[in-house]
Copies of this chain bind each other. A is one copy, B any other.
């Protein structure tokens, strides 16, 4: 079974983390052909850190897990922290295929998403 783990930074604001949880639920409804399981996880500031997210996927039967960093910039979290955590998880779960996706901001389609988002702008009155 294939799992997708959506990894966000995590926030002290519960509402921000809830948005990621809801996005993962929306992803699950829309990618049924590619992924049997979709879970959210956070780099920090949450109970569901990346190792817990990976263990949740495995508990639901995942044999292959794709980790997708929900980050815009290729900062230290994307370049060092997440790969280091994934390396440790891979060593602990040698029978599971764990893949690391490029971070969201690296997508070639970001430009299209931005243009389509801007279409829904609202005039601000003086």
Task: Enumerate chain A interface residues (CB-CB to B < 8 A).
Answer: 4, 6, 8, 11, 13, 15-16, 19-20, 23, 26-27, 30-31, 34, 66-68, 70, 72-76, 83, 86-87, 90-91, 94, 97-107, 109-118, 120-126
Contact = CB atoms under 8 A, between A and B. Distances in A.
A66 B121 contact: yes
Contacts of A109: 112-113, 116-117
Contacts of A98: 123-124
Contact of A27 (B94, B115, B123): B115
B121 A104 contact: no
A124 B87 contact: yes
A8 to B, nearest CB: 7
Contact of A115 (B34, B74, B112, B125): B34
B111 A107 contact: no
A73 B11 CA distance: 10
Given A72-B8, A72-B70, A115-B30, A90 B126 contact: yes
A101 B61 CA distance: 41
